[in-house]
Each structure stands twice: as structure tokens, then as C-alpha cells.
Amino acid sequence: MAFRKTVAALAAGAAVTMLPVLGASSAQAAPAPVQNALSCTTSVSGKVGRADCTNNTNRAIAFRVKVVCGMAPDVSGNWVTLNPGARGSSSATCAWFSTGAGSASWQEG
């Protein structure tokens, strides 16, 4: 019985000791991305998906379109880098055997 109490006390002590370590790692996490960095509209037509974006920040940002292609593999457009205040577009075409572009979104990077 004394052995169980000792093991339980050690386990509880180890858990409490780890709390500051866990808190320190979350404090060192990367800063959150800028919200609403790009204003984008997306569209699909047939097998093509497109994203048209405007950079609303004071730094250059890259983006690309991501297109869902039904029965074919999804595709991504070319990366486009926008300077502050600039507009640009990225498009991608689904494979010939696709059932068509179902939706388009954008990825910032």
C-alpha cells in the first residue's frame, strides 16, 4: 500500500513539474498569421478554378488557388506574389477526366 502511495505521489509531482514546461513552449509559439491579409473572390467554370486577390497589408504576400476536381486529383495554381495594395489572380485546370471543378479556395504562403 505504501508503494502505491509513493508511486501516485511521484506521478502527481511529475505532472505538476511538467506544467511550467508546457506553458513555456506555448508562449514561444509562432505569432498568429495576419487576419484578412488578402481579399479574394473565387470562381469555377467547367474544369477551371480561379482566385482573384488584393493585398490589404503593408508587406508582400504570396497566394495560389486550390481547386477541388471531383473524381480527379485536386490541383493548385501557380504562386502569385502581391506587393502591398496590388491585385492578382491564380488559376488551375482539372485533369481531362475530371467531373469538373467543384470549388476553389486560396492558400496564402
- Model pLDDT for residues 36-72, shown as the tens digit of each residue: 689 999 999 999 999 999 999 999 999 999 999 999 9
Host H or E run for residue 103 = strand 103-108
Q: How many of the other CB atoms lie within 10 Å of CB of 59?
A: 10
Please give the model's pTM, rounded to 2 decimal places. Answer: 0.66
Q: Go through the chain and tell me how many residues it has.
A: 109
Looking at residue 37, its pLDDT comes to: 84
Residue 76 has pLDDT above 60, yes or no: yes
Quickly list H helices, 1-109.
2-27
* Whole-number average pLDDT of the chain: 81
Looking at residue 34, its pLDDT comes to: 55
Higher pLDDT, 9 or 89: 89
Return the ∠ at Cα 86 (arms to 81 and 91), rounded to 5°.
Answer: 55
Which residue is listed with cell 498569421?
33
When pLDDT is cut at 50, 70 and 90, the band that residue 22 belongs to is very low
CA separation for the pair 62, 88 (Å, rounded): 10
